[in-house]
Structure 1
Amino acid sequence: MNKTLFFSAVMCLMCSVANAASAPKGTEIPEYRRNSLNFIMLDVSEGDAEITSIFRQAFTEMTVPVKYNDHNVAAELRSFTLNSMDITDADHEAYATATGTKKKNGGFGKALGGLMGGTTTEFKQFGPTKKNSPVAAWKYLNQSGMAKEMFAKWFVNPQTPDELSVDLLRERANFNATQTEKVAVEGSSRGVFNQIADDAGYELLNNTFAVVTRFRYMNGQDMYDEIIEDTEIVAQYLPAQAFTAAMTAATAAAIAAKQVIGDGYVIYTTTYLYQLVWDDEVQQAVESNWNVDGFNSLDCFRLKYIGSENAYANVLGNKFAKEEAIRLATNRAMEKVLAKLERKYEVFRTRTPLTGVDPLTADIGTKECVEKGDKYEVLEKTINPKTNKVDYKRKALLEVETVGNNITDGSEEVGEDAATRTTFKGKAKNLYPGMLLRQTTK
């Protein structure tokens, strides 16, 4: 497809969302633009070989949750082993610089010395798995050209790999053709490519993420140690006071987790989150090289480190056979860590439709780790008539009143409440099904 044909295709896409009025209240729930996820497994190849094999199989079969777009790349790029990565001191230094995790003066060493009654100013020497895992994830994403692979999934049609295409962008951007204000873009003096890039590009391309996850099988004491040490790895870069607060909270969480686990086992995940960067530089480069050879020659694609989180899920061996129990726990641990990443990082927070207004309801709940008292802003989607760019205006603030029980696979011990939808309290005036909810802290 040459650039002229590309512009024509994009114009058709933009025209398809034009000339519609605001949503009639009470209509069916529309589709909406979702974040896109690429799942990658960091295989540490430790412990029982049978259990490791179950991890791998569970990950291979794992589906991206429905509130996200599946942006998984080729299967051969979706997992790598820690042992295959040669991690050097130079890699650690480069990782710290690239991700902004350089040690701060007066941080880990000073605080740890105070907590332990010593005066050490050196880093604690973690084992190779803990110390190298975040660096290995970062290095693998760079060595594999993952950012380019993820952009290629957006623009290279697998049916016609010798041409670039906007088909996937059209498919996912059409989620905007819903119950919101829209304007036609025909006749605009701005380039068509820039119009779609400013709108769908920002909302879809820039909200594409690589999720690198390490799974481990452990008992209560292992879990306790893991929580403490994982917190130490992150907190070592904090000033002394912040380090002490983080370790105090981690110790309390570790004790509570150990008590819950008892004599059982859990699947524990550590997940590193990276965001695909779509900015003016990338946009201009793609626009100027809208052909396969030009696209392949570009080296401006990159992933930005957002942060990490940990989560665990109980292996319910008393309810399921061993393999099934581990598989279910692996999937549940993944759902939990994604929910924790959403809570922690605003850039990763998803939107979900309001499904009812009397009462106020949404199809989220225990599966997404919703908690009573959580706050959600209600967003109405509009289009700025000057820029033709989608915008979201806050129309209300709601609070979770009751949490729906929407875990149906038995992967977790939950209540038997028949209500599967979460309900909210707040002012429902001028709200209607299809408006979008997004978790907020303010």
Structure 2
Amino acid sequence: MTDEEREALGINKSETNKMINSALSGAASDVTAGAISNNSEVQYEIDKFIKAKKLPFELVSKWFNLNQFGQEDYLPMKLIQDRGIYSASAQEISEAETTTRGLNELQNSGKNLIKNTFVVFTKMNFVSNEPIALAIKQTTDAAANELSSLARDLALKGSEKIYNKTKEGYSVWTTAWLYRLDWTEKTWSELGEIIKAKRNGEDVTFASLDVNFEFIGTEKASSLVTFSLKEKRTEEQIIELSTIRNVDQVYAKLQKNHDVFKAKSPIVIEDGEIYSKIGMKEGLEGGENFEVLEEIWDSETNEITYKKIASIKVDKKQVWDNRYGASEGKEKELGKTLFKGKVKNLASGMLIRQIK
């Protein structure tokens, strides 16, 4: 980022270093310098990248196969319809084949995928814990030395103990920025007009389509990476495990704190119990509340809406640990999370969504 851009955004070039230096001692700041950056600068760079690469248009082009326009068998809605069926469960497809709506409903559901197209940018820092632990120790030692002799000795011993416990390994810090394709009825109409004009031989370009991203929000996650003599994994495997789980953690936060990004998961009814194939990877710990949704299809508009018909809660005793690498060295798990709630009027394939 240039100095002119920083000035336009009101960002002090040395703001980050001042922030770090105020929190950490010189020893820590020397090691972490550059690892922690001002996220307002990062988001500005992301926005520049989005604009320069015309990412919103590139996504639309992918959805509608615009690069194939002009070919004899060109069908702009083919990928969308295919993905509508692709995203459906085997049970939904089986049920659709027995109804008057048939597979057309599933194909039409693909249209909803366009306005639910998300892009996540992530920035990850991998920082040694030792200098940060040392900085904290130096601060607590300075405070301890102001105490009387007995209290000082106890405080210094406590400081040393904490330092030895926290200095090993690394910390993974991940920040994620969530964007959504800003797809509206107006954009639908504009694209349709361009396709019509091109088919009539007019000199128009798809690139004239006015489409952008909508910024939804940002979340952060951090995790500790330590190495133990008892650990059977290599250091590379431990680092891989920690970084993947850290990214999963920040995605779970995005889903939890931003309604538009909340995933809808199907339930399975077995032996009078309610299950779903989600778990710790999605941030579940036990006790979370979910609403059960009934899918309603409007045959005139081909729009799908959802109606809440019940509430269920995650059973703390049976939360599926589906995090990366969690199954290694463990007995085979059930592979799904148990929910508490009334089974009456519920059926396998219904969708659930977490509520606060």
TM range (shorter): 0.5 to 0.7
- Report the counterpart of residue 255 of structure 2 in structure 1: 342
Query: Which of 37, 47, 53 is the equivalent residue of 1:138?
Result: 47
Q: Does 1:361 align with 2:275?
A: yes
- Residues in 2 aligned to 1:150 and 1:91: alpha-carbon distance in whole angstroms: 30
Give 1:254-403 correspondences, 5 Å limit: 263-290=168-195, 294=204, 296-315=206-225, 317=227, 318-357=231-270, 358-401=272-315, 402-403=318-319
Query: Which of 395, 398, 404 is the equivalent residue of 2:320?
Result: 404
SS of the residue corresponding to residue 330 of structure 1 reads: helix
Q: What's the Cα RMSD here?
A: 3.8
- Residues in 2 aligned to 1:130 and 1:276: alpha-carbon distance in whole angstroms: 25
Query: Which of 164, 168, 173 is the equivalent residue of 2:79?
Result: 168
- Label 1:391 to 1:261 Cα distance change in 2 as closer, same or farther (>3 A): farther
- Label 1:434 to 1:145 Cα distance change in 2 as closer, same or farther (>3 A): same
- Residues in 2 aligned to 1:260 and 1:274: alpha-carbon distance in whole angstroms: 39
Contact 2:190/2:209 (8 A) holds in 1: no
- Residues in 1 aligned to 2:258 and 2:114: alpha-carbon distance in whole angstroms: 18
Q: Percent identity?
A: 27
Contact 1:212/1:273 (8 A) holds in 2: yes
SS of the residue corresponding to residue 38 of structure 2 reads: helix
Contact 1:403/1:422 (8 A) holds in 2: yes
Give 1:20-419 correspondences, 5 Å limit: 86-90=1-5, 93=8, 129-131=37-39, 132-156=41-65, 165-174=76-85, 175=87, 178=93, 179=95, 183=101, 200-201=110-111, 203-220=112-129, 263-290=168-195, 294=204, 296-315=206-225, 317=227, 318-357=231-270, 358-401=272-315, 402-407=318-323, 409-410=325-326, 418-419=333-334
Contact 2:245/2:323 (8 A) holds in 1: no
Per the TM alignment, residue 389 of structure 1 is displaced from its structure 2 partner at its CA by: 1.3
TM-score by length of 1: 0.56
Query: Which of 347, 353, 356 is the equivalent residue of 1:438?
Result: 353
Q: Deviations over 1:157-207 (max 9, x none)?
A: 777796563222011112456447774899xxxxxxxx95xx643x21111
Per the TM alignment, residue 294 of structure 1 is displaced from its structure 2 partner at its CA by: 4.5
Structure scoring higher RCO (CA < 8 A, sep ≥ 6) equals 1
- Residues in 1 aligned to 2:216 and 2:164: alpha-carbon distance in whole angstroms: 31
Which letter maps to 1:427? K
- Residues in 2 aligned to 1:185 and 1:409: alpha-carbon distance in whole angstroms: 37
Contact 2:57/2:207 (8 A) holds in 1: no
380-389 or 362-371: bigger deviation: 380-389
Contact 1:329/1:411 (8 A) holds in 2: no
Runs of 5+ unmatched residues, structure 2 = 12-18, 24-32, 134-162
Which letter maps to 1:400? V
TM-score by length of 2: 0.68
SS of the residue corresponding to residue 331 of structure 1 reads: helix
Per the TM alignment, residue 392 of structure 1 is displaced from its structure 2 partner at its CA by: 1.3
SS of the residue corresponding to residue 309 of structure 2 reads: strand
Contact 1:87/1:136 (8 A) holds in 2: no
274-283 or 419-428: bigger deviation: 419-428
| Structure ID, larger Rg | 2
Per the TM alignment, residue 419 of structure 1 is displaced from its structure 2 partner at its CA by: 3.9
Q: Deviations over 1:85-110 (max 9, x none)?
A: x345547757x9xxxxx9xxxxxxxx
- Report the counterpart of residue 120 of structure 1 in structure 2: none
Per the TM alignment, residue 417 of structure 1 is displaced from its structure 2 partner at its CA by: 8.6
Contact 2:191/2:209 (8 A) holds in 1: no
